[in-house]
Amino acid sequence: MAQAFQKIYTQITAITKATCSLKAEGVGNDELALVNGKLAQVVKIIGDEVTLQVFQGTEGIPTNAEVTFLGKAPSLKVSDQLAGRFFNAYGDPIDGGPAVEGKEIEIGGPSVNPVRRKQPSELIATGIAGIDLNNTLVSGQKIPFFSDPDQPYNQVMANVALRAEADKIILGGMGLTNDDYLYFKNVFSNAGVLDHIVSFVNTTENPPVERLLIPDMALTAAEYFAVEKHEKVLVLLTDMTLYADA
Amino acid sequence: MTTGKVKGIIANLVTIAVDGPVAQNEICYIYVGETRLMAEVIKVIGANVYAQVFESTRGLKVGNKVEFTGHMLEVTLGPGLLSRNYDGLQNDLDKLTGVFLKRGEYNFPLDQEKKWAFTPIAKVGDKVEAASWLGEVDENHQPHKIMVPFVFEGTYTVKSIAKAGEYTINEVMAVLTDADGVDHEVTMVQKWPVKKAILAYREKPRPFKLLETGVRTIDTANPLCEGGTGFIPGPFGTGKTVLQHAISKQAEADIVIIAACGERANEVVETFTEFPELDDPHTGRKLMERTIIIANTSNMPVASREASVYTSMTIAEYYRSMGLRVLLMADSTSRWAQALREMSNRLEELPGQDAFPMDLSAIIGAFYARAGYVYLNNGATGSVTFLGTVSPAGGNLKEPVTEGTKKVARCFYALEQARADRKRYPAVNPIDSYSKYVEYPEFEAYISELIDKDWLPMVNDMKTYLQRGKEIQEQINILGDDGVPVDYHEEFWKAEVIDFVILQQDAFDKIDAVCPLERQQYMLRLVMDICRHDYNFDLFTDVIEYFKRVINLCKQMNYCEFKSAEFEDYRKKLDELLAEKQIKK
């Protein structure tokens, strides 16, 4: 991703488990950087000392690592092509398909003006009696699932995703085991509903810090479909405990 | 003006090197390209200034330009505040374009085009001081006084005053001459720093006047006073929002200000959509006409949460200076405290309990102290009643925010999960809740005058019955229904009658939702009369069956129009039923 005439820094002054610091100038807050090819984000600037959070962890980063700043915040390319695809925390495809073309939107963007919101009132039918009858899911509302680790919460989520009458379903998987990821993938492909599901997945094999990007990625995609395409979007995030752990 | 350059950035805390004088809490604007981000100075060390930015600092770079404004965070006060929806920095949310909030978009909170019908109050030659009333405009049927700006010090003489007529807010309404003979022009608009209390009143007595809310569990059991302070700890799903809405709808206040501080956006939207539809039970007009909403929802920037509570309090004080009764509801102060904690941690201050700043209870105390009932300089009265909610993490009432609030708030309405689970709404626990005002002799005198001398003793008696009922319930749970004397069952069911008839109230029933004081008095007398009698029972099963019928009849009365034929009919049936078993005294 490095471009011509870009300044490359090679003097890292401090390294911790998830961050590294270096002297650099003209860097913006929240900007992305590459440290020896690993993606990192600016979290702190004091004078000319910049601290970067390295998403994959700092294992193996030497003090003379090559650091380039990308001059932009984490972003996602959005378009209809997102549908039916699986992405990692950076918005890159992990299902072996081609990269997505589209408009680039910064993630974690501005919040919705509360006076422009509508009161949630429309039912999203999930087809699960325990949810629809007792504790109805309403479009525009958010509901947490509380679960013990030994409960089949991912199955329930997959069921909700399959049955819910929404135009698009965005699944943000944080700290899923590889098996669970493959489970979701299989269930969706077998049911033939892949075309209205977008998944952002961070498995336990990936570094935990990357999970921090998942909800923002998922919600950016959701906002794109909801605001620009006027579709009903259901976002499922699993599981927030592992997100908080990161 | 002082300018500066950005030196360091940690999330929304920015270090700035300045070239001139700066004041603590001064407002500055930080440039990110073309956008200006508002920030507030919170610490100064040498030439380094620490400022908290009210918005996202994404893309901010070292070396960016900073401009200081020379004043603290201010609100603009003038006619046209009512029925608006503001954010924490007093930007009019309805004027902002687009679905999303754009960073660095600020606007003027009032309507500068609208003409207001002005009637002068002061005359040429009058001696006036800060907050003296110069004239009046009609704002949504409220007499909105045009006052001498609060920043004016000393006495002034009115040199000229505008004639009755229609003016916009920026036109000069009066010219005042100060002691040195210098003329000052006064418009309808003035500014005031939010962190300073408006002290332009003569005296602030202890609150003594009952603020009627129409909610029996508040007015009867633990009354809230005009100018008083109260708080509601709200565990999830206990009906906190319904209770708050009920109070804001029915309370005898001229102005209602709702500060949604860090609340979920959907709940705020509920207020936005419901209030313009609801009728004000006192005037018959729309509720929104007397309401101002300050919304800083959980997804909006954290730093402006603090600003939002101060902004709402300042607006409340402004209306109080006009001699109006203001009710301010803040939901929730815990989220404000969380914002304080976040900043304190970033500043690397010495942390107090649960990492909250050391002076948290002082901050909360100072804020609650701004509420109150006041005698203005011209003898009129006004009040700011403040009702805050706290959302203690994990329902733990020993955490610092609740503790700090408990010290300063005089009323406490303990919303309780267990009560809510049993569908006894409003889920206010009658035994844990308290109102310190009932202990004030001033209040006692007032309520004796308003209702009757025996009112407070009767309410205390009621609480004794409730307490006793609770004790007996525990004993019955241990010993079993037939393990206790029949009297015990009788006592327990008397407490249940009080609970079902007085404490529980149906917020969704048109008639039961609002219970005027006269009716509360009638019902309490009725219920206490039932409780004070002895009954003739042989079996505990008879007790249960009998009192269930009593409760049913009383509840039917609650649902009927007061003193209607139907109401009297139920009363007659009730009297007949009581005569069956009551032992004559």
Nearest chain A CA: its distance from B16 CA (Å): 10
What total number of domains does chain A contain?
2
Q: Per mean pLDDT, which of A56-70, A128-142, B569-583 is the most reliable? A: B569-583
Fold of B216-436: Rossmann fold (3.40.50)
Among left, alpha and beta (phi > 0; psi -120 to 50; other), residue B410 is alpha
Q: What is the mean predicted confidence (pLDDT) over B430-445? A: 92
Do A194 and A142 fall into the same domain?
A: yes
In the predicted model, is pLDDT for residue A150 greater than 70? Answer: no
DSSP string, A167-184: SEEEEEEEEE-HHHHHHH
β strands within B224-290, DSSP E: 229-233, 255-261
Give the angle B181-B183-B186 at the CA atoms, nearest 5°: 145
Given pLDDT bands bounded at 50, 70 and 90, which one contains residue B390? Answer: confident
Between residues B302 and A138, which one has the greater pLDDT?
B302
**pLDDT at A161 (0 to 100):** 75
> Nearest 5°: phi and psi at B127?
-90, 130
What is the count of residue pairs from A and B with beta carbons less than 8 Å apart? Answer: 102
* Residues in B touching A112 (Cβ below 8 Å): 99-101, 265, 299
The answer for residues whose C-beta is within 8 angstroms of residue B222's C-beta and 6 or more apart is B411, B412, B413, B428, B430, B433, B434, B435, B438
Across the interface, do B62 and A47 touch by the CB < 8 Å criterion?
yes
Q: Looking up tokens 């949310």, which residue turns up?
A: B93
**pLDDT at A121 (0 to 100):** 65
**Inter-residue contact B429 to B419 (CB < 8 Å):** yes
Peptide bond into B223 cis (omega under 30): no
Interface test with A, best of B100, B241, B267, B299 (most A CBs within 10 A): B100
Across the interface, do A111 and B268 touch by the CB < 8 Å criterion?
no
Between residues B349 and B41, which one has the greater pLDDT?
B41
Q: What is the mean predicted confidence (pLDDT) over A10-30? A: 87
Q: Centre a 10 Å sphere on the Cβ of residue B507 and count the other Cβ atoms it contains.
A: 17
> Nearest 5°: phi and psi at A111?
-95, 165
B100 in contact with A, Cβ within 8 Å = yes
**pLDDT at A135 (0 to 100):** 63
Do A120 and A236 fall into the same domain?
A: yes
B3-72 is a CATH 3.40.50.850 domain? no
> Nearest 5°: phi and psi at B94?
-75, -25
Across the interface, do A112 and B57 touch by the CB < 8 Å criterion?
no
> Nearest 5°: phi and psi at B484?
-120, 155
Interface test with B, best of A50, A53, A75, A113 (most B CBs within 10 A): A113
Q: Per mean pLDDT, which of A163-172, A229-238, B81-90 is the most reliable? A: B81-90
DSSP string, B64-113: -EEEEEEEE-EEEESTT-TT-EE-TT--BTTTS-SSBPPTT----SS-SS
DSSP string, A146-174: ---TTS-HHHHHHHHHHH---SEEEEEEE
**Inter-residue contact B391 to B211 (CB < 8 Å):** no
- For B333, what's the count of Cα atoms within 13 Å in the CB-facing half-sphere? 31
Do A146 and A96 fall into the same domain?
A: yes
Considering only CB atoms, A30 lies closest to which of B58, B101, B270, namely B58
**Inter-residue contact A56 to A39 (CB < 8 Å):** yes
Structure tokens at A55: 């998403």
Of B26, B22, B376, B373, the residue nearest B193 (C-alpha): B26
Average pLDDT of every residue of chain B: 90
Query: Does residue A89 sit within a domain?
Result: yes
Q: Looking up tokens 């001498």, which residue turns up?
A: B148
Give Cα separations from B137 to B4, B118, B142, B145 (angstroms): 43, 5, 8, 6
**pLDDT at A1 (0 to 100):** 46
Q: Cα dihedral sign for B193, B195, B199, B204?
A: positive
Structure tokens at B124: 């040429």
Tens digits of per-residue pLDDT, B114-130?
A: 999 999 999 999 999 99
Fold of B455-583: 1.10.1140
What residue of B is the nearest CA neighbor of A52?
Answer: B10
Across the interface, do A113 and B297 touch by the CB < 8 Å criterion?
no
Do A37 and A53 fall into the same domain?
A: yes
Considering only CB atoms, B10 lies closest to which of A44, A114, A118, namely A44
Given pLDDT bands bounded at 50, 70 and 90, which one contains residue A60? Answer: confident
What is the share, in percent, of chain B residues with pLDDT greater than 70? 99
Query: Does residue A7 sit within a domain?
Result: no
Structural domain of residue A159, as residue ranges? Answer: 75-245
What residue of B is the nearest CA neighbor of A44?
Answer: B10
Directed axis angle between helix B303-320 and helix B333-346, to 10°? 130
**pLDDT at A2 (0 to 100):** 47
Helices (H), chain A: 129, 153-163, 178-191, 214-223, 240-245
Q: What is the mean predicted confidence (pLDDT) over B265-281? A: 78
Do A89 and A185 fall into the same domain?
A: yes
Q: What is the mean predicted confidence (pLDDT) over B168-196? A: 93
The answer for residues whose C-beta is within 8 angstroms of residue B577's C-beta and 6 or more apart is B546, B549, B550, B553
Fold of B116-188: OB fold (Dihydrolipoamide Acetyltransferase, E2P) (2.40.50)
SS3 at position B343: helix
Query: Does residue A5 sit within a domain?
Result: no
In the predicted model, is pLDDT for residue B516 greater than 70? Answer: yes
Partnered with residue B37 across adjacent β-strands are B30
Between residues B522 and B343, which one has the greater pLDDT?
B522
Question: What torsion do the CA atoms of B240, B242, B243, B245 make, to the nearest 10 degrees?
Answer: 120
Do A154 and A38 fall into the same domain?
A: no
Q: What is the mean predicted confidence (pLDDT) over A185-197? A: 81
What is the share, in percent, of chain A residues with pLDDT greater than 70? 81
**Inter-residue contact B313 to B370 (CB < 8 Å):** yes
Between residues B255 and B331, which one has the greater pLDDT?
B255
Do A49 and A87 fall into the same domain?
A: no
Of B332, B459, B298, B306, the residue nearest B405 (C-alpha): B332
**pLDDT at A164 (0 to 100):** 73
- For A10, what's the count of Cα atoms within 13 Å in the CB-facing half-sphere? 3
Nearest chain A CA: its distance from B256 CA (Å): 18
Do A138 and A156 fall into the same domain?
A: yes
Cα–Cα dist B464/B462, whole Å? 5
Between residues A102 and B91, which one has the greater pLDDT?
B91
The pairing of strands A168-176 and B3-10 is unpaired
Tens digits of per-residue pLDDT, B456-468?
A: 999 999 999 999 9
Q: What is the DSSP letter of B28?
A: E
Helix or strand run (H / E) with residue A6: none
**pLDDT at B58 (0 to 100):** 85
In the predicted model, is pLDDT for residue B44 greater than 60? Answer: yes
Q: Centre a 10 Å sphere on the Cβ of residue B345 and count the other Cβ atoms it contains.
A: 14
Do A88 and A65 fall into the same domain?
A: no
Cα–Cα dist A184/A199, whole Å? 9
Between residues A85 and B382, which one has the greater pLDDT?
B382
Between residues A145 and A220, which one has the greater pLDDT?
A220
Least confident of B266-280, B475-489, B494-508: B266-280
The pairing of strands B48-53 and B13-18 is antiparallel
- Of A69, A84, A111, which residue is a domain's last? A69
Average pLDDT of every residue of chain A: 79
Considering only CB atoms, A47 lies closest to which of B7, B59, B272, namely B7
**Inter-residue contact B238 to B424 (CB < 8 Å):** no
Q: Looking up tokens 């939702």, which residue turns up?
A: B513
Cα–Cα dist A50/B51, whole Å? 19
Tens digits of per-residue pLDDT, B145-168?
A: 999 999 999 999 999 999 999 999
Directed axis angle between helix B517-532 and helix B540-559, to 10°? 170
In the predicted model, is pLDDT for residue A145 greater than 70? Answer: no
Across the interface, do A140 and B299 touch by the CB < 8 Å criterion?
no
In the predicted model, is pLDDT for residue B418 greater than 60? Answer: yes
Break chain B into its structural domains and give their ranges.
3-72, 116-188, 216-436, 455-583
Given pLDDT bands bounded at 50, 70 and 90, which one contains residue B375? Answer: very high
Cα–Cα dist A26/B60, whole Å? 9
The answer for residues whose C-beta is within 8 angstroms of residue A212's C-beta and 6 or more apart is A55, A89, A243, A246
The answer for residues whose C-beta is within 8 angstroms of residue A216's C-beta and 6 or more apart is A74, A107, A108
Q: Centre a 10 Å sphere on the Cβ of residue B503 and count the other Cβ atoms it contains.
A: 22
**pLDDT at A59 (0 to 100):** 86
SS3 at position A243: helix
B103 in contact with A, Cβ within 8 Å = yes
The amino acid that residue B244 corresponds to is Q
Q: What is the mean predicted confidence (pLDDT) over A77-92? A: 83
Cα–Cα dist B518/B447, whole Å? 13
In the predicted model, is pLDDT for residue B18 greater than 50? Answer: yes
Between residues B325 and A168, which one has the greater pLDDT?
B325
Tens digits of per-residue pLDDT, B244-264?
A: 888 888 888 999 999 988 877
Given pLDDT bands bounded at 50, 70 and 90, which one contains residue B96? Answer: confident
Given pLDDT bands bounded at 50, 70 and 90, which one contains residue B575? Answer: very high
Do A136 and A212 fall into the same domain?
A: yes
> Nearest 5°: phi and psi at B86?
-110, 160
Structure tokens at A211: 């999970």
Cα–Cα dist B133/B110, whole Å? 20
Q: What is the mean predicted confidence (pLDDT) over A61-71? A: 88
Segment 117-136 of chain A within 8 Å of chain B by CB: 117-120
Helix or strand run (H / E) with residue B193: strand B190-193
Of B332, B347, B422, B348, the residue nearest B386 (C-alpha): B332
- Of A69, A96, A117, which residue is a domain's last? A69
**pLDDT at A138 (0 to 100):** 64
What is the share, in percent, of chain B residues with pLDDT greater than 90? 64
The amino acid that residue B175 corresponds to is V
**pLDDT at A227 (0 to 100):** 81
SS3 at position B324: coil
**pLDDT at B434 (0 to 100):** 92
Of B283, B276, B214, the residue nearest B251 (C-alpha): B214
Do A80 and A64 fall into the same domain?
A: no
User: What CATH number does the domain containing A87 carry?
Assistant: 3.40.50.12240
Do A31 and A112 fall into the same domain?
A: no
Query: Does residue A2 sit within a domain?
Result: no
Helices (H), B136-264: 216, 240-250
Tens digits of per-residue pLDDT, B537-556?
A: 989 999 999 999 999 999 99
